[in-house]
Structure 1
């Protein structure tokens, strides 16, 4: 749908009262930032910088409590679909960290009011989120050695929370979209010419991409895309997801390392057949890190020594078992979660609407530049908001809630 011809907020004022639609847009930006965050290098497989929580931080003063919680839940589900981690421990870490951070940020803001800046709100959310994830890591992956890396986790939360807080404060002060959403402005600063995408522009972008990558890389991408298309023809998204869920339960019940290793090999083959991207090198590095962390606390009979480190039988087998479980669930999730997966009910309608916005955000991703990031993100939000309308299901849900 083309953007409104007038930049007046009046053209879209009624849509800002549609909390379901606003929630879907903010969730879409959570998906987008999660995709970026997932690709960034990190010292631990579940460690995140927290930039995907930025839309939730902006929503602290914008959305009522019920919609605020819907946004947090939609962010977890959506980012798990985008990154292919829905059935993995990463989704568990994300769920715990996001929901705790959301509740803490909302509580701090409501308790302290505007006497507590968004910087303080962001820091509180980031630190508690990392603390919760560290607590889960203690019992799921690393054991008691988790407390050794807890200081790094908490310092990371402090730094990223501060940066996100300052960015949110600056964005709110300069964003036309946010001002309209909060009823503080009557005009959108929307330049229609910036939002137009032409077929020639897309074609030239594709040509530049082809020139940048080597022939071998392009052939691999084409082969992977062909496998993905064949897989999509054979299985519907919900069938693939249900199969993955059932297999995950069976996999988690396994105790023998050899059996887990066989499952792991099958999951890797499944991921390849589904046309999903993966890295065996990354798998080996992450697995080695999990095993090494468990070896730091000796347990059981000493097998051999590596300098001052005593490699004990129970610690080694426990570390290998946890590494296989962690990485196995990652591969299983990647293989079984397809982009077209939809959820039933009203919450599913929000997720579906959010993915429509997400697709439009992806189209504009090249227009955000580091030097003008606030202005570009604001323009992006305005163009995406103005170029789409909520689905009938989302509008009907809002009407019933009102």
Structure 2
């Protein structure tokens, strides 16, 4: 079987300006605030903002997949009617409470995925053996996702085996393959602005709507 040409990886533009550890810990600090935001007027712009940052981080955004994810979560919530009935589609009663809950949970899950995509990088180095294991796990996960287009449905086992052999050769399995080294040219000012922008967008929005409600 002939090997398919590997698609070139998009460049992580954020890595030029921000350190991996700053991106990671900032992302972790945003998760509680993002989940506590219940207003769709706030959550939708935040999800789109996170998607933009994930794109700048060199990730491929497949919006059709995320639309399907939000739609499926919302559909299953509609099976349990809650609140005022908006319309009836056959045996399904579309209620305001179920629709709002489904959309909120679907957007929350998508936002969490986008947040992890731009916050976690394979270059992340956490202290200790657990940190090293976690960093390698993130690397292998990203590489498997990057190799999905090389996996052929006609020869699923064989093509998947080739992708895994590239990641886990018989020798040297303990160390991940060498990646392109991106020269870090960030500054304290850029890092501070990045943290402030994200904290104001998430935590600022949460406290503002909490006080206004």
SS in 2 for 1:383: coil
| 1:258 shift after superposition | 1.1
Q: Distance in 2 between matches of 1:268 and 1:282?
A: 13
Query: Relative contact order (alpha carbons < 8 A, sep ≥ 6): 1 or 2 greater?
Result: 2
Decide which of 169, 172, 175 is 1:384's aligned counterpart: 172
Q: Could you tell me which residue of structure 2 aligns to residue 209 of structure 1?
A: 5
Q: Distance in 2 between matches of 1:307 and 1:351?
A: 48
For residues 310-340 of structure 1, give each alpha carbon's deviation from its aligned partner in whole angstroms, at most 9, with x where no partner exists: 1011111111111111111111111111111
| TM-score scaled by length of structure 2 | 0.62
Q: Could you tell me which residue of structure 2 aligns to residue 327 of structure 1?
A: 110
For residues 104-138 of structure 1, give each alpha carbon's deviation from its aligned partner in whole angstroms, at most 9, with x where no partner exists: xxxxxxxxxxxxxxxxxxxxxxxxxxxxxxxxxxx
Q: Distance in 2 between matches of 1:275 and 1:381?
A: 26
Q: Could you tell me which residue of structure 1 aligns to residue 48 of structure 2?
A: 265
Structure-to-structure mapping, 1:112-261, within 5 angstroms: 209=5, 221=8, 224-225=10-11, 228=12, 230-261=13-44
SS in 1 for 2:26: helix
Q: Distance in 2 between matches of 1:350 and 1:298?
A: 44
Residue 308 (1) aligns with residue 91 (2): yes
Q: Could you tell me which residue of structure 2 aligns to residue 287 of structure 1?
A: 70
Aligned length: 156
Q: Larger helix proportion, structure 1 or 2?
A: 1
In terms of Rg, which structure is larger?
Answer: 1
| 1:247 shift after superposition | 1.9
Listed as ranges, the gaps of 5+ residues in structure 2 are: 145-149, 152-156, 176-213
Q: Distance in 2 between matches of 1:341 and 1:324?
A: 27
Over 3 Å off, 4+ runs = 349-352
| 1:236 shift after superposition | 0.8
Change (3 A) 1:275 1:381: closer
Change (3 A) 1:350 1:258: closer
Q: Could you tell me which residue of structure 2 aligns to residue 277 of structure 1?
A: 60
Structure-to-structure mapping, 1:350-365, within 5 angstroms: 350-351=133-134
Change (3 A) 1:248 1:370: same
| TM-score scaled by length of structure 1 | 0.34
For residues 139-170 of structure 1, give each alpha carbon's deviation from its aligned partner in whole angstroms, at most 9, with x where no partner exists: xxxxxxxxxxxxxxxxxxxxxxxxxxxxxxxx
Q: Distance in 1 between matches of 2:158 and 2:70?
A: 34
